[in-house]
Amino acid sequence: MSKQEKKQAVKAKSNSPYKQYLLFGLVLLLIPVLVHIGVIKYSFLTIIASILIYSIVALGVNLLVGYSGLVSLGTAGFMGMGTYLAAYFTADLKLPFEISLIISVAVPMIIGVVTGLVSLRIEGYYLAIATLAISEILRKVFVEFDVVTNGFSGKDADYPTMLGFFELDRNSTFILIVVILIAVMFITHNFINSYTGRALSTMRGSEAAAQAMGINIYRYRLLSFAVAVGYAALGGVLYIHFIKYTYPNAWTLLFSLNILAVIIIGGVRSIPGTILGAFIVFGVPDLILKNLPVIGDIDGLAYVFNGVLIIVVILLYPAGLIHFWHNTKMKLAKGRKGKEGNHA
C-alpha cells in the first residue's frame, strides 16, 4: 500500500459515520440515567422514545423519497398495522416477542409490495394516491375488525419479553429502542453505499441513464418502497411495546404527513438529517411550544408550525436544515472573500 492510498484509507475511516452514530447512541443511553437521578422529567423519556421510533420510520421514507422520488402517504397505515399485529400476537396469542416482531414486519411488507407491484408500473404519483387509499382501507380495518383490533377503544400491549424469560421494563425498552435505531442507522448507511444504493443514486440522477445502464427501475423502486414499509412496521412494533396503547385515530393521513415533514425539514438523503427532522417536527411542539405561555394553549399550533416549516424549507432551503450550519459558514466565508476582493 502506497503512502497516498494509506492516507486515503485513513481519511475514509475517519469520515465513516459509525463512530458518530455510536456516540449519539451513548448520549441517548444517558437519558434514562438522568431521569432516574431526577434531572429531567419522567415524561421526557416517553417523548424522546417516540421521537426515536418516528426517526426509524422516517429513515425508511427518506430512502423512498430521496432516492426514487416517490411519495408514500400510507406510512401511518403500515405503522398502525405493525402496532396492531404486534399487540395481537403478544397480548392475545402470547407469542414470543421475536416471532411477533418478524411476522408484524413481514405482513405489512407483503401488503406494501403488492401495492407497489400494482402502482409502480404506472407514473410515480400513483404510488402516493394508491398508498393513500390503502391507508384509508387499513384504518377502516382497524375500526371494524374488532375481534383483533378492539375497534375504536384501541388495543393494549405490554413491554416486550426478550428470549422468553427476560422481561423488560420502561428503561430497558428505551435501551432496546436506542439499540435498534442505531442498528437501523448502520444498516441504512451501508444500504445506501452498497451496489443497490448506488443503483438507487443513479436512478435519482437520471432514470433514462439508469435504464440504459441496465438498472431495472421498477425493481429498485419496489425495493425502496418495501424497505420504507418494513421500517414503518418495525417502528409500529416498537411503538406498541413502549407506548403500550394503539387506537385507529392515531394513524391518519396527518401522521404520514408529519413523517414526510421530518425528512423534508431535516434533509433528504441524510441520515443525521432525518434524526434532526424528527426532533424538530415531533420534539419542538411537545417540548417547547406547549410550554410557552399564552400561545402554548392554542389548538393546532404544532400543525401550523410544521406546515409552515415544510413550505419555508422547500422554498428557501431545499437541501434541509441539516446543511444549514455548513452552508451558512460557507456563505459567510464567501461573503468575506467577496468583500476583500472589492476592497482590492
Q: Interface with other proteins by CB under 8 A: which residues?
A: 65, 69, 71, 73, 115, 118-119, 121-126, 128-130, 132-134, 136-137, 140-141, 144, 208, 252-254, 257, 260-261, 264, 298-308, 310-311, 314-315, 318
Q: Where are the beta strands (DSSP E) in the chain?
A: 155-156, 161-162, 166-167, 245-246
Asked if residue 311 lies in contact with residue 257, where contact means CB atoms within 8 angstroms, the answer is no
- C-alpha 331/C-alpha 172 separation (Å) is 44
Q: What does 137-170 look like in DSSP terms, one character per residue? A: HHHHHHHH-HHHH-GGG-EE----EETTTEE--H
Please state the closest distance from residue 209 (CB atom) to other proteins, in A: 9
Q: Smallest distance, Å, CB 140 to other proteins?
A: 5
HEC secondary structure over 56-82: HHHHHHHHHHHHHCCCCCCHHHHHHHH
| Closer of 90 and 119 to other proteins (Cβ) | 119
Least Å from the CB of residue 314 to other proteins: 5
In the complex with other proteins, the residue whose CB is nearer, 163 or 315, is 315
> Measured from the CB of residue 71, what is the shortest distance to other proteins in angstroms?
6
Kindly tell me which of 187 and 304 has the beta carbon lying closer to other proteins: 304
Q: Please identify, using beta-carbon distances, which residue of 305 and 324 lies nearer to other proteins.
A: 305
Cβ-based neighbour number of residue 179 at 10 Å: 13
Q: How far is the CB of 325 from other proteins (least distance, A)?
A: 23
The 8-class DSSP code of residue 289 comes to: G
> Cβ closer to other proteins: 292 or 298?
298
Q: How many helices (H) and strands (E) does the chain have?
A: 15, 4
